[in-house]
Amino acid sequence: MATVRKLAVKIETQAELILNDSELAALDALFGYDMDVFFKVFYREMGRVYLEPHEQALRHLAKVLRGCSGLSKDANECRAFLHQVNDERMARVRQIVAGK
């Protein structure tokens, strides 16, 4: 027996954004603002025409990205650890070369 079912078409765009530590910190600073206050000031100073159609998406993006500087902090801690290990290794090499 034949059946008919409705097919749906979904078209979606995805983008991957690669940021360095400074850009990540800047993004975290931007989305660290209370979004209600941000939109109130933005709309008062710049108007509603451009940003208002994107308000809900920006609110969602802010929730997702808030605290993203933690990634940068983790990377900085890792770098500091690797520098410390390298400094200790080089000090040991200098001791060996000096015959101690």
Count how many domains the chain has: 1
Indicate the average pLDDT of the chain: 87
The stretch 15-34 carries a mean pLDDT of 86
pLDDT score for 100: 67
**Within-domain flag for 9:** no
What is the pTM assigned to this prediction?
0.58
**Within-domain flag for 16:** no
SS3 (DSSP) at 3:
coil
Task: Decide if pLDDT at 13 tops 70.
Answer: yes
Query: What domain range is 38 assigned to?
Result: 21-97
**Within-domain flag for 10:** no
**Within-domain flag for 3:** no
* Residue count of the chain: 100
**Within-domain flag for 1:** no
Task: Decide if pLDDT at 35 tops 80.
Answer: yes
**Within-domain flag for 84:** yes
**Within-domain flag for 13:** no
Asked if residue 61 lies in contact with residue 31, where contact means CB atoms within 8 angstroms, the answer is yes
